Amino acid sequence: MTKLSVNINKIATLRNARGGNVPNVVQFAKDCERFGADGITVHPRPDERHITLKDVYDLAPVVKTEFNIEGYPDARFMEIIRSVKPAQATLVPDPPHVITSNTGWDVNKNKQLLIDIVQEIQSYGVRVSLFLNPEIHQVQEAKLTGTNRIEFYTGPFAEHYAENKNIAVAPYVKAAKAAYDIALGINAGHDLSLQNLQFFKQSLIHLDEVSIGHAIISDALYYGIENVIQMYKRLLQ
């Protein structure tokens, strides 16, 4: 079954907007796990606009499911991975100033960097996932880095889902088959929601994990986080 990792960046954003420690990021992560989340995802950006370095170290001993840390693999990020040793490190290509990760790696252009980084992270016993656009040649190049998994950037799928969901998902189906055929694990994330998740999951039969934050937190304002996690998990069955 496809696992659901809850990205809790937005909880930190809400806390930081007011100062103090409400909502409590660590407690929220623990509650997400209690309500059925299969993992917790964070993206500790250098400007600490949401998740802070302290949050990461506070979460590390508390998360009992899979802890997934996203980020650009600079020296700061690599020190976090070395120290925390999460279950998974998801490598994204975006520079520090962007609002959210909105494109995948150009693997060929960054191949030697990624080979070196993947090897180092794996030496810590951490699984590696590379953030990719749904392009077969990127998938094939990713395999050469030694990564364990890829994570498809699903923004374009979500953007065009209402227009024609079959056309929107087609590149992902093809790229996922290419990944499965060469034994790469398949993750996905970005703008997946209650509206489009089930169709995406049904279209990619070998999907290992989805990481969802913005939509889950937004839906939780109406339905409550416990209900929402169960709603999303049902769509992944």
Catalytic residue positions, numbered:
43, 70, 190
Integer Cα distance of 62 and 126 in angstroms: 17
Smallest Cα–Cα separation from 191: which of 7, 3, 2? 7
Classify each residue of 2-13 as buried b or exposed e, where b means 16 or more C-beta atoms within 10 Å of its C-beta: bbbbbbbbbbbe
Integer Cα distance of 90 and 14 in angstroms: 24
Residue 174 CA, distance from chain mean position: 20
Integer Cα distance of 2 and 93 in angstroms: 25
